[in-house]
Structures are given as structure tokens and as C-alpha cells.
Amino acid sequence: MKILVTGGCGFIGGHLCELLVKKGHKVVSLDDLSTGSLSNVAGLKKCKKFSFVKGSICNARLVDRLVKESDAVFHLASVVGVKLVCDEPVRTIETMADGTSVVIKACRKYMKKVLVASTSEVYGKGSRVPFCESDDTVMGATCIRRWAYANCKAMDEFLALAHYYEAKLPVVIVRFFNTVGPRQTGMYGMVVPRFVKAALNDEPITVYDDGKQSRCFCHVLDVVEAVEKLMFHCPAAIGQVINVGNPKEVTIGDLAKFVKRQLKSKSEIKNISFEEAYPGGGFEDMRRRVPCIKKVKKLIGFRPKRTLKDIVRDVAESIKAGNK
């Protein structure tokens, strides 16, 4: 098959492109390189089954051509990281709202199967854990900029499902929960590479607030394997919203201690307020974010294989090798 991956030079996109090529597919990566990097697909540079197109998902003519030439589409292009969302809210909203509309319209025009990448952010301030796909979402106030991302992603889901209901467009929606691993950058606030890089350099590991907020981390290789199966080996996934993540929970404070211990670092663990971390404001946190993975387990037998220890090791090796 010939597959289009939007955001194919991003962190998850790069790993997905590698897996798809390994599976024997021809892959086209569309990326404007605003947050993605060619280094994420450097291993595919000489591969005849892989090609890169620099461009925006908001370019309707370009997207139309690429979708028409493809057999299936993975729509991963987006704005990444809470920091970037808070710093550049206009870019966040316009890229996701306009870009997803362009991609979905092209897929409907040619009736191409499409997987839309969403996020655990759509659960917002929900306090019922673990989060299930049918749970209500609880969004924060519009004056808090971080919620722009969650709301845009929720609208992406509404739009994709609307096309499914109206035209039977084959869509699969996946909500990622803190996907981490090699080649991920800490530039946009991603906590694991940020902690690992600090620990490797024996610099202070900075924990926001009291560090008792908790998250669940899933290795990117587990994630892309699940995504590929949902897209190509699970007809029942069509028209569904599906959590993909690791339900094992860890507080951010304990994560900092774990990273320091695993890397035998001399780093000091330092707590700072959210006001210090996001001086421009617009940030609000949630205490827990835990996925219910019963649906994905039922659909494809998904169980995360890689542990937090594996994640820290792989991120550290990637950083030491010069990848971010």
C-alpha cells in the first residue's frame, strides 16, 4: 500500500513511518518541519519506499493530491507540547482546526481510510479515573490558553466522526496518553526527555508544583505498533474513539527520583511553581491522567510491553547519541 503520514517527521510520526516501511508499505511523509525534524526519519533517507514532502496540511491543493495518490492516511500533524500551546495559541488553533478540516475533506472526497491522532487532553479536568472513551469531557475556561489544544482536538474528533456518520468515511480516532521514547525533544515541555537530559548533565531536575500530579507513560514503539494494527488489522476500529497508553501511573516527583536513580545522576531535584514555569500565564494542570485500555485490549489484544525503565534507558541513549 501507499500510505500518507501527515506530521511524518514528528516524534511519533517518524517512528510510525519506520514501522510502515518495515511492514513493506510505500510511505509519504508530509511535514512543514515547524516542530518535526528530518532527523526523525534519517534512517529512511536512502529507502526507496519512503519519500518526504515539505508542506502544510493547510495547503488544500497539496493535501488533495497526496491523499488522492494514497491508499490510506495517518493524520498525525499537529502542534505539540503544552509550552508551545501556551506560547503560540493562534498557531495552535489555526493549524489544528484548519489543517484537520483540509485532510478530512480530501479523505472523504476520495473515500480513503484515515486514522486521526487525538490526545488524552480531551478529557480536560475530568476527575473520574481511569478515563474511558465514553466519559464526559470537562474543559477549562477559554481564558486559560492551554485548553485551546484540548478543545481543538475534541473538534477534530467531532469532525471525523461526523464524516463517518454522514458518508461512512472509514475513520479511526486514537487518543494518545503521554507517548515517550527515543528522539523525543524536551523543547516543548515534554517531561521525560527534559528530566533525562538534565540528569545526564547533572543539572537540576525541575519539577513543577508539588510533584504529586501523576501521569502514565507509554513507549512510542508500543504506540505505533498499536496504531498500525488498529488501522490495518481491525475493521471493528472504524468509527471508534480508542485510548492508547500505559495505565501504570507515576507521580512527577517520583519520576524525577526514578530518572536520577536509573542514570546514577548527581542532579538536584528542584520544585518550582507553575507561575515560574509559565511566566506568561495561560496554564492550568490536572492532577491525574490515567487511561482505561479495555477497548484497545479487546480490539487488538494491546498490552504495553515496554516499561518505564526501558523508556528512560532508550531516551538517555538517544540523547547521548545526539538525537535531541
Which candidate in 123, 149, 208, 278 is catalytic? 149
Query: Measuring CA to CA, which residue among 199, 177, 175, 173 is closest to residue 186?
Result: 199
Cα–Cα distance, 78 to 55 (Å, whole number):
13
- What single-letter amino acid sits at 227? V
Cell 490515567, located at residue: 290
Cα–Cα distance, 41 to 23 (Å, whole number):
16
Cα–Cα distance, 255 to 167 (Å, whole number):
45
- Does 149 participate in catalysis according to the annotation? yes
Cα–Cα distance, 255 to 318 (Å, whole number):
19
Query: Cell numbers at residue 78, please?
Result: 499537529
* Class of residue 266 by CB neighbours under 10 A (exposed 0-12, middle 13-18, buried 19+): exposed
Tell me the catalytic residues: 149
